[in-house]
Amino acid sequence: MDNRGEIKDFLTTRRGRIRPEQVGLPAGSNRRVPGLRRSEVATLAGLSVEYYSRIERGDLAGVSDAVLAALARTLELDDAEHDHLLDLAHAATPSARTRRPPQQKSTSIRPALQSMLDAMTGAAAFVCNASQDMLATNHLARGLYSAMYDSAERPINHSRFIFLDPRSQIIYPNWQRAADTNVAILRTESGRHPHDRRLAQVIGELSMRSEEFRGRWAAHHVRRHVSGTKTFRHHIVGDIELGFEAMPLPGDTGLTLTVYTPAPNSPAEEAMRLLGSWLADNNSRTSQDSTNRT
């Protein structure tokens, strides 16, 4: 996989957002490029203009961590962006281009992981892969995302739901934030897993079908999505604000466990109890209907 275009676009967009006055340079009135010039980045990073120009054209093969760190400082990259630059450099090396990691199954997880999810009765928990396929959930997560599971398409994919299903704008009161975050996650994962064919398939489909996705993808934003809060609007229990933790699973490469929990003694905790009761009633009615039909 040739990732020179990814490298070029990432560095160009990062360079374009740094104003000269941020780094002690005169702004001037005849600047023909947004942000810094290549020559200015090179000088600030302690590199020759020729060397930096080669890097920005997409050639990161053999570039040392020290040079990458100097570029990260100059371009004021945050931790997620610095990690992404390292991932792009790793993918650009000949050994990374020839090595193909095993493809993660997109339809199943180990039974022990499903048992762990099922044991979480007060929180919504699910496992997804790099392409945002929802591989497994517990009952509260399935209830929280009930609209997503109404689709006949499998595997259920979080990114496809956000950008291709208008109901996502109901479930996420702050849809713009959810969309921004989702694309940043996909961009981060694409740098980390450059040979993941399923991930490339999802990105390609969304790029063709969603203008909202295309605009965000072109911005090359990345982020660490490990903790925070998220608000859902559920058609049965209303708005629910939940804290979340997202954790990679060391024994299952490319899989992430995400757990949503309500604050103790909060309206969200009561809403989650109501959601559990609604799910139990639904399951009971479904079982009764099946029994009556037989």
Which tens digit of pLDDT belongs to each residue from 253-289? 889 999 999 999 999 999 999 999 999 887 655 555 5
* DSSP E strand boundaries for 77-142: 124-128, 134-137
* Percentage above 70 pLDDT, the chain: 90
Rounded Cα distance between 288 and 278, Å, is 15
Residue 29: the pLDDT is: 65
Helix (H, G, I), strand (E, B) or coil at 113: helix
Q: How far apart are CA 163 and CA 143, in angstroms?
A: 20
pLDDT digits (tens, 9 = 90+) for 137-195: 999 999 999 999 988 788 899 999 999 999 999 999 999 999 999 999 999 999 998 88
What's the CA gap between 275 and 262, in Å, rounded? 12
Residue with tokens 């559990």: 276
Q: How far is CA 166 from CA 160, 161, 171, 185, in A?
A: 11, 8, 9, 20
Please name the fold of domain 4-98.
434 Repressor (Amino-terminal Domain) (1.10.260)
Which residues of the chain form CATH 1.10.260? Answer: 4-98
- pLDDT beyond 60 at 104: no
Measured distance CA(224)–CA(252) in Å, rounded: 19
Fold of 111-292: Beta-Lactamase (3.30.450)
Nearest to 185 by CA among 203, 161, 170: 203
Measured from the Cβ of residue 164, the count of other Cβ atoms closer than 10 Å reads 17
Q: Are 187 and 179 in contact (CB under 8 A)?
A: no
> Cα separation of 172 and 178, whole Å?
7
3-state secondary structure of 208: helix
Instruction: Check whether 98 has a pLDDT greater than 60.
Output: no
